[in-house]
Structure 1
Amino acid sequence: MAGERTVSSKMNDDQPSGNPWVKSLLVWGGIFLALLMVVSMFNTRSESGPMIAYSDFRAKVAEGSVDSVEVGQDSIDGKMKNGDSFRTVPVPGDTTLTPLLQQSGVKYAGKTPEEGSLLVYILAQTLPFLLIVGIAFFALRQVQKGGGSGAMGFGKSKAKMLTERSGRVTFDDVAGIDEAREELEEIVEFLRDPTRFSKLGGQIPKGALLVGSPGTGKTLLARAIAGEAGVPFFTISGSDFVEMFVGVGASRVRDMFEQAKKNAPCIVFIDEIDAVGRHRGHGLGNSNDEREQTLNQLLVEMDGFEANEGIIIIAATNRPDVLDPALLRPGRFDRQVVVPVPDIEGREKILAVHMKKVPLAPDVNARVIARGTPGFSGADLANLVNEAALLAARRNKRLVAMQEFEDAKDKVMMGAERRSMVMTDDEKKMTAYHEAGHAIVSLHEAASDPIHKATIIPRGRALGMVMRLPERDSYSYHRDKMLANLSVAMGGRVAEEIIFGYDKVSSGASSDIQYATSLARNMVTKWGMSDKLGPLQYEESQEGYLGMGGSHRTMASDETNKVIDSEIRGLVDNAHARATQLLNEHSEQLESLAQALLEYETLSGEEINQLLESGRIDRPSEPRGPGAPRPLTGSSIPKAGRRFSGGAAPQGV
């Protein structure tokens, strides 16, 4: 692959010869050998024999066992008549030794000073100093190494050159986001053949900002660029710039661009740039805040007095609203590439990419799965395929069938089944009528999405659920659909009131009430769907997404707030009245569907439609306790007047 060969050759040209680990090993090996030499110079006992006491030496001389000795100032070396050697230390001031030797007939001579004693003395005095100097020199050499890998190298950039020798990703692995891919393919083409664009006066873009929700494939696109481009590719995270030390972030930015200049033309990818590129002046620190200093240095390096030709910056974020305006202007980030959540065509392509790694059964249809997963990102679809493969392995299957994908979809969207949860018969009955109320209201609201599945098996934090799926991808909601969703949300609560009475209404509708209140508030305060208040915005969201740490700020007077509350209450009350009307008109359908849920626990949209049209469900017998389930029969139940179709993504109930 040409791109990999180019990157590898540049890396080999820039790196110093030899392996740095080998160099470090040689340095420490040399220190160890020097210590061994010093120890060996001090250790001379093996040559002179064992050490004995001076008194024992005099006794051996007196008894005539000693043959000869060499007397020195600091030691006496001698040899016994049997050939053994020995060594002792004389007592200072002993003048009787020489007469004793003469009297005992021992050969004695003076001992010449050791030639190495001066060297040993010098080494003993200078060795600590030499060790300190050597360690300091070694540490300084480590600091001088690039990339911050050396000791105390916190001022160096942590950007890594990506070679992708294994697991290489290309644009063929990126599906479902064709427009974003085309934008970045043009940058790669510019790097490969710049004369094609420059002859018409075009200049290479200095930067591209990838914007999209989490999981849409921003980092995957960057890896694809690294796999396709035949130039060096550096990658770093925005959080890698800022540390506890003042000025480190700016130093790392400078070092990163210095490395990039040496390898130009090249691409630098900064992931999660909002960690360092937030709007200046809005942080907790003062004007000398470390993060702001890092951002200032980044702005200067990207488009300052000194141009950085041939360096393309690609950054990714899911919070473009918090970035500093100076960072977003042309000349720094010339392109803002939106990476959207894929549509049905994109989801089918993404599923096809991930399904290549999974052995599929013949009944698997990627189009059906894609249609049933609106709103799923690329990461969600990858997780769906993985969950299906895990389910198939758990069931000891050799192929992943459509049933595993359906079960994995339910698990991802609604949570795992909690079949071990013990519910009383009254609780099951209450849940069945509650979910049947949602389903019957949804059937008779023309603007409501079709039902995909109804279940009274606890999943996640819910005791039951009715999943409605759109027939196609929706990019905006209309008033009639919002009103239908309000009525469907109230259907469960109304069913409990009709069947069990006012005093027996449960807390199971808490999430429905929360959803209906939030939807009605948005209709009144944000979307201008109140006749009394008109098309004005009365509320805005603070930093953070709804349900994810976000908050609201109302921009209205006290009198207007009273009208807002009245309009919200009116929308919810009208939805409650509409659900009551529909359930009273179709009470037989409510009863039949509730009994079917008690019998089967889970019904698909097609089965619900079949039940309400023919009064029975044709389902193969299943081993559910003693005997197979009996077919459900009902009296002359009127037709629902609406067919069902599959899809995916729950709509709040």
Structure 2
Amino acid sequence: MAKNLILWLVIAVVLMSLFQGFGSDDTQKSQIDYTSFNKEVSQGLIQQVQINGQEIKGLKSNQTPFVTYIPAPDLDLVNYLIKNDVKVEGTAPEEQSFLASIFVSWFPMLLLIGVWIFFMRNMQGGGKGGAMSFGKSKAKLMSEDQIKTTFADVAGCDEAKEDVVELVDYLKDSSKFQKLGGRIPTGILLVGPPGTGKTLLAKAIAGEAKVPFFSISGSDFVEMFVGVGASRVRDMFEQAKKSAPCIIFIDEIDAVGRQRGAGMGGGNDEREQTLNQMLVEMDGFEGNEGIIVIAATNRPDVLDAALLRPGRFDRQVVVGLPDVRGREQILKVHMRKIPLEEDVKATVLARGTPGFSGADLANLVNEAALFAARGNKRTVSKEDFEQARDKILMGSERRSLVMTPKDKESTAYHEAGHAIVAKLVPQHHPIHKVTIIPRGRALGVTQFLPEGDQISQNKDELESSISVAYGGRIAEELIYGAQKVSTGASQDIKQASAIARAMVTEWGFSEKLGPILLTGEQGNLRSNVVSHETGKIIDDEVKILIDTNYKRAYKLLTDNIDILHAMKEALIKYETIDTDQVDDLMARVTVRPPSDWDNEKEVESIKEKKSTIDMTRPAKGKVDTTKKEKVDTTKAQDVTDAEQKQDVSSEDEKDNK
């Protein structure tokens, strides 16, 4: 910015100098007033003049140049000059060129057009072509040399890789399939939860096939102008035809591929026009040989039926959450980039991370490396992975949060209530850790870790989850009374209520209503199915489920109130206890310290107490004179008090007589 300003200042100075040089002829001429000019004309002192409008330039008889200005138009001036033998000259009027006249007349319109182009260019993100590129595709082209991802970089989805391997064979040698009359699918729809590797799998297909790869998001087609999205779809397929064979990857296709007729505007809606054009380009009157469209979504239920029919996205590849073997493979892929200690085993970590997606596992490895770097380590250890997993599952520790002893005790009772009920109800997940260290938005956390991959849950497991959710609130109620229960159980109540309502309205666990779906896509009651009477039955059934499991948790904690107190003491002492300490407490035996417990603080506190006792105790062979003086003083005071009492009693006796 400073360089540009200096450059413009230099240019301005140069131009001013040039203009000043051009105007130097006028400065050399002496300027006289019009009255003196007329006198000199009458005296014959003016030789010649040149008139240009109101400006008069000329030479005097002594060859001195001069200049003067007419104050007002004077029609008799020329005749007056001729009478006095003055040579009069005129100047030709300046003629404006045709282009200059057009520019001057059209300048306001050109200015408005320039401003409009500027704003439209900004609205389009300043892309190539500016305002004239509305209908151009925003797909990013990656050549076959730019994509380094292969199937070796994709793990945890072996079945999905098998479904797309033949795409690579087709792109490399299509004649092998055409000889037998086979036709490769024109569209592949990758379906799965977020973070499972759908985009990575599409890149691996392009990397293995060594073909151009067009990447675009579904939201890039939609604009506020109707018809722009359809134009971009046409342009994208035209570019793909020039680069065929190639792959077009559309991420989050549900942004443009939703069911038609659901939005406002009918067929004139921009999104629906874009979808119509995409349907035509994929399988319309003209075919697109050599172009394979791969799309990814985590909501296949909202896509239009015409988009999923054979000939378009006629093959759906499910990329789900990895199992324990898949998680092990994914961890090995990410662990290749970091130095590990010998105690780190991908098999053990895979068993301890059920429900993790590929993105979660990549984040786990990254967080473990960050923990090791903070500790100035050269390798990543098992403890680093343990801390990283706890951070992902429970949130970061907030040790800076100041908690009063009363808050700590209340939190300890709350978390102990969750843990005890979880150990006593049937078919609940094992306890991994119980902590009263604030993590994330919670003051304490009871973390459960499934023993294996869980696909579904039965009624006993769901009811146990409701009982465990209310365990913390019930523990506070038993210890402090119903009037002292805190608001810390708000999230537990929300979780238990959601499970109970889903059991009644979605999963068919209500004896009165039976296996009937009563909710829509967002979990709300379907107004066209649920009547007022049915809604009341739903509320009653939910209330029965919650009350039953609440009473069960209440009885379990009442019968084991001694364990509740013992677990509270263990949590206040250690702050975090593992499943081993919970087992000791449930067995009513001495609690062993946690494996990572640092007892230096405990030893220091014992030493401080001992030194305090030693300081107050007198040394051997010496008499504590201070203490003796205090005893003597006390005895003297007692004697004085006794004498005063005797005097008082004798005076009372005299009064009585």
In structure 1, what is the Cα distance between the partners aligned to 2:500 and 2:452? Answer: 24
| Residue 456 (structure 1) aligned with residue 436 (structure 2) | yes
Q: Which string of whole-angstrom CA distances, capped at 9 and with x for unpartnered residues, describes residues 109-138 of structure 1?
A: 979979xx66x6556435547989999999
| Cα drift, residue 247 of structure 1 | 2.0
| Residue 471 (structure 1) aligned with residue 468 (structure 2) | no
SS of 2:432's equivalent?
A: strand
SS of 1:284's equivalent?
A: coil
In structure 1, what is the Cα distance between the partners aligned to 2:410 and 2:309? Answer: 58
Which of 321, 325, 330 aligns to 1:350? It is 330
Structure 1 pair 616/87, CA: closer, same or farther in 2 (3 Å)?
A: same
Equivalent residue number for residue 519 of structure 2: 541
| Cα drift, residue 563 of structure 1 | 4.9
SS of 1:462's equivalent?
A: coil
In structure 1, what is the Cα distance between the partners aligned to 2:586 and 2:295? Answer: 54
| Residue 605 (structure 1) aligned with residue 583 (structure 2) | no
What code does the residue aligned with 1:223 have?
Answer: K
| Cα drift, residue 372 of structure 1 | 2.5
In structure 1, what is the Cα distance between the partners aligned to 2:460 and 2:182? Answer: 49
SS of 1:627's equivalent?
A: helix
Equivalent residue number for residue 470 of structure 2: 490
Which of 189, 211, 214 aligns to 1:234? It is 214
SS of 1:306's equivalent?
A: coil
| Residue 265 (structure 1) aligned with residue 245 (structure 2) | yes
In structure 1, what is the Cα distance between the partners aligned to 2:400 and 2:307? Answer: 54
SS of 1:250's equivalent?
A: helix
Q: Which string of whole-angstrom CA distances, capped at 9 and with x for unpartnered residues, describes residues 49-78 of structure 1?
A: 75656869969999x9x9998958778887
Q: Which string of whole-angstrom CA distances, capped at 9 and with x for unpartnered residues, describes residues 80-109 of structure 1?
A: 99999988889986456678788xxxxx89
Q: How does 1:209-220 map to 2 (within 5 A)?
A: 209-220=189-200
Higher relative contact order (CA 8 A, sep 6+): 1
Structure 1 pair 478/76, CA: closer, same or farther in 2 (3 Å)?
A: same
Which of 317, 320, 323 aligns to 1:340? It is 320
In structure 2, what is the Cα distance between the partners aligned to 1:382 and 1:293? Answer: 39
In structure 1, what is the Cα distance between the partners aligned to 2:536 and 2:421? Answer: 30
- Unaligned stretches of 5+ residues in structure 2: 1-13, 121-125, 608-657
In structure 2, what is the Cα distance between the partners aligned to 1:232 and 1:472? Answer: 41
Q: How does 1:23-422 map to 2 (within 5 A)?
A: 45=23, 94=77, 121-122=97-98, 124-128=100-104, 149-163=129-143, 168-422=148-402
Structure 1 pair 555/616, CA: closer, same or farther in 2 (3 Å)?
A: same
Which of 601, 615, 621 aligns to 2:590? It is 615
Work out whether residues 238 and 272 of structure 1, in 8 Å CA contact, stay in contact via their aligned partners in 2: yes
Task: Tell me how large the CA RMSD over aligned residues is.
Answer: 4.4
Structure 1 pair 456/130, CA: closer, same or farther in 2 (3 Å)?
A: closer
Equivalent residue number for residue 574 of structure 1: 548
What code does the residue aligned with 2:406 have?
Answer: D
Structure 1 pair 578/213, CA: closer, same or farther in 2 (3 Å)?
A: same
Which of 513, 535, 543 aligns to 2:493? It is 513
| Cα drift, residue 287 of structure 1 | 3.6
Structure 1 pair 601/141, CA: closer, same or farther in 2 (3 Å)?
A: closer
What code does the residue aligned with 1:283 have?
Answer: G
Work out whether residues 49 and 89 of structure 2, in 8 Å CA contact, stay in contact via their aligned partners in 1: yes
Structure 1 pair 255/612, CA: closer, same or farther in 2 (3 Å)?
A: same
In structure 2, what is the Cα distance between the partners aligned to 1:59 and 1:394? Answer: 96
Q: Which string of whole-angstrom CA distances, capped at 9 and with x for unpartnered residues, describes residues 592-638 of structure 1?
A: 222111111111123333555551314453454882699xxxxxxxx
Equivalent residue number for residue 654 of structure 2: none
| Cα drift, residue 349 of structure 1 | 2.5
In structure 2, what is the Cα distance between the partners aligned to 1:352 and 1:359? Answer: 12
* Larger-gyration structure (1/2): 2
SS of 2:581's equivalent?
A: helix
Q: Which string of whole-angstrom CA distances, capped at 9 and with x for unpartnered residues, describes residues 146-180 of structure 1?
A: 98633332122222222486684333322222222
In structure 1, what is the Cα distance between the partners aligned to 2:401 and 2:462? Answer: 34
Farther-moved stretch of structure 1 (50-59 vs 220-229): 50-59
In structure 1, what is the Cα distance between the partners aligned to 2:59 and 2:198? Answer: 85
Work out whether residues 437 and 583 of structure 1, in 8 Å CA contact, stay in contact via their aligned partners in 2: yes
| Cα drift, residue 225 of structure 1 | 3.3
Q: How many residues align?
A: 577
Q: Which string of whole-angstrom CA distances, capped at 9 and with x for unpartnered residues, describes residues 430-485 of structure 1?
A: 32222222222222334222111001122233222211111111111123322332
Work out whether residues 140 and 215 of structure 2, in 8 Å CA contact, stay in contact via their aligned partners in 1: yes
Q: Which string of whole-angstrom CA distances, capped at 9 and with x for unpartnered residues, describes residues 181-201 of structure 1?
A: 332332232111111222222
| Cα drift, residue 258 of structure 1 | 2.1
- Unaligned stretches of 5+ residues in structure 1: 1-35, 103-107, 631-653
In structure 2, what is the Cα distance between the partners aligned to 1:427 and 1:140? Answer: 62
| Cα drift, residue 48 of structure 1 | 8.2
Scaled by the length of structure 1, what TM-score is found?
0.75
What code does the residue aligned with 1:268 have?
Answer: I
